[in-house]
Every structure is written in C-alpha cells, then in structure tokens.
Structure 1
C-alpha cells in the first residue's frame, strides 16, 4: 500500500483479466460503477475514477509464468482525502497473500 496516491498513475498488476473482474466489485465497495471493455468508470462523491486496463505479456521467471495487467488510474474531480481513503480500501482488497 502506498502512503500517497496522485490523481493519475499506472500499475503493473500480477493478475489475469478474469481475476481482476471478479475482485473489482468488492474493491470498489459501495461506489457505483459502469463497466466497459477494458475500462470502468467509478463514481466517487462529485467526481469519478476512470480505470483502464490492458493485458501485458506474462512475466517469466524460470518455469513460472505470472499473468499481468497494465492498469491506469485517473481521478477526475475527486477530493484528495476521498481519493486517499478510496485507494487504501481498494489496495487492501486487491492485495494477494502468500503463504
């Protein structure tokens, strides 16, 4: 989890698109959203978050293949404190545990 989330950033996420789509509603919590092909628009207060993703080639380490998505986060009209709260919850929900 980051200590600060800017209005625009990108991430390389170790997940398949199917796993991402299954986890996304839970990560968005109570926020209404519209889902499109490779994108989602999430209503946060008076503003919104535009999520866009595309499939990246897998990361290969010896015999291990990790599926990846490039995910772009763009907040429009979302106050900083609301953005920070939203992203902390989002990150906690999207974390994958090991063990």
Structure 2
C-alpha cells in the first residue's frame, strides 16, 4: 500500500516538474523563471527523498543535501543578479 502511494507521488512530482519546466521556458519575466528553477530544485529534492524511501537506503541523503545547497546558492545568485546586474562586484583601483 505504501509503495503504491510512493509510486503515485513520484509520478505526480514528475508531472509537477514538467509543468514547472514549461514555466521556465515560457515565463513572462526573469524572476518567474528564477522561482520556477527553485521549484524544480525543491521537487527534485522531494523526488530523491521518495526514491530513498522506496529503495530503503541512505545513499541518497548526500545527494539531497548537495542539491539543496546548490538550489539555495543559485537562487541567491540570480536574486543578486536581478537586484544589481552583477553577481560578484569587483572594485578596481587604477
């Protein structure tokens, strides 16, 4: 019973990721695309957690952690780019 529910949730997360990819491609503004990329990251983390439960292993925990960190850093980088126009500011003294 639980395996069936987990398999159905995997399918639903897959559909959610596909719908979000459409938002990334057709998003009217750049912030919409950034938020959609963050949603894809969260859905991938959830999918990896469900796969970890289905396979009854802890091997995917490191992948979940790295994916979460990368999603957070990419969202912060895009937000900084939207706000300032650059990600890394360099002060050049001539």
TM over 0.5: no
Greater helix content: 2
- TM-score, length basis structure 1: 0.30
Q: Which has the larger radius of gyration?
A: 2
Structure with a larger share of its residues in strand:
1
